[in-house]
Amino acid sequence: MVSTKESRLVTLEEYIIQSQNRFPGATGELSQLLRDIGLAAKIISREVNKAGITNILGYDGSTNVHGESVKKLDLFADQQLISALDRSLITCMVISEENDGVVKLGSKGGKYIVYLDPLDGSSNIDVNVSIGSIFSVYMREPRFDPAVREEDALQAGVRQVAAGYVLYGSSTILAYTTGLGVSIFTLDPSIGEFILSDRGIKMPEHGAIYSINEGSYNSWDEGLKKYIKYCQEEDSETNRPYSARYIGSMVADIHRTLIKGGIFIYPHSKRYPKGKLRLMYECNPLSFIIEQAGGMATDGQTRIMELQPKAIHEQTPIYIGSKKNVQTVMEFLEEHATVEQ
């Protein structure tokens, strides 16, 4: 990983303001939105860190739009992020994994649309394994009609104006991009501030780690099976076999991939013929981050960020990570797709 370390402490708020000042005429609204997310992340981090000694572990008893059981921390994170975005009156609507449809906020004239996965990997909560929050920001199409419509949110990932994630692990980190590279901040609990750790992140072009749930092996396409066997074969020239690492929290798996290189895969399968992960609030924002760091993300045929969504909770397969790793798996998929046809 290539990055630029800072010689002095720079807070998230200071960094956002510095970045904003590079653009004459910037209104500061996007900067405020990012600060709002940073504030919510601090509150969520505090609650995650004391979850074992408060009554916030376990299931809420409800299910989300995908039929998944909702945990208490899922709802807490959802409420904190939506509340933070509502306060500044610059976001008109939020789409979240925990809500069936669009959540309309107090400002109908707000120019931003925000997608959220409030707590990714929540199945790991009760066993104290890393979890995270993901966000994706779009601009609303300007028009005279102030009504907030769901179709306004159906934009391809290439139109994201900002995206990022928060990882609640051994430390709490926030990574984001506005299309000018990836910056990472670490929460210093002693002062309650996110401090700039790295900027200008560049991930390795190739990595020796693959990340996939191999329990689903029998339901994969032949090309993917062949690729995984390739990863496991011994070959000193290509640094194989690769190491298998799978956390079960996409944020944590992608963060490791960003830092160390390699590939993360969640394919379509017999159980999930359209893939399981959500295009708009998991795959698009994390693809934006990875591409800004020099990596690639595809659904097996098309660049993830060029997919035109048809629904706010749309699902997709994803192959994401270091450029050479993704190119190699694409070759396997193309070769065996031709054979199978």
Whole-number percent of the chain with pLDDT over 90: 71
Q: Do the annotations mark residue 218 as ligand-binding?
A: no
282 is annotated as contributing to ligand binding:
yes
CA distance 76 to 98: 11
Whether the pLDDT of residue 53 is over 60: the answer is: no
CB 12 within 8 A of CB 42: no
Sign of CA pseudo-dihedral 310, 315, 321, 324:
negative
What's the rounded Cα separation, in Å, for the pair 250 and 268? Answer: 16
Q: Is 19 annotated as a binding residue?
A: no
* Residue 68 among known ligand-binding residues: no
Q: Name the residue with higher pLDDT: 158 or 72.
A: 158
What domains, with CATH codes, occur in the chain? 2-200 (3.30.540.10), 209-340 (3.40.190.80)
pLDDT in tens, 223-280: 999 999 999 999 988 889 999 999 999 999 999 999 999 999 999 998 899 999 999 9
Per residue in 101-110, pLDDT (tens digit) is 899 998 777 8
100 carries a ligand binding annotation: no
At 8-45, the pLDDT tens digits run 799 999 999 888 877 665 678 999 999 999 999 999 99
Compare 93 and 26 and report the one with higher pLDDT.
93
Q: Is 107 annotated as a binding residue?
A: no
Confirm or deny that 325 is annotated as ligand binding. Answer: no
The answer to whether 207 is annotated as binding is: no
The whole-number pLDDT of residue 238 equals 84
81 is in an annotated binding site: no
The pTM of this model reads: 0.91
pLDDT of residue 322: 98
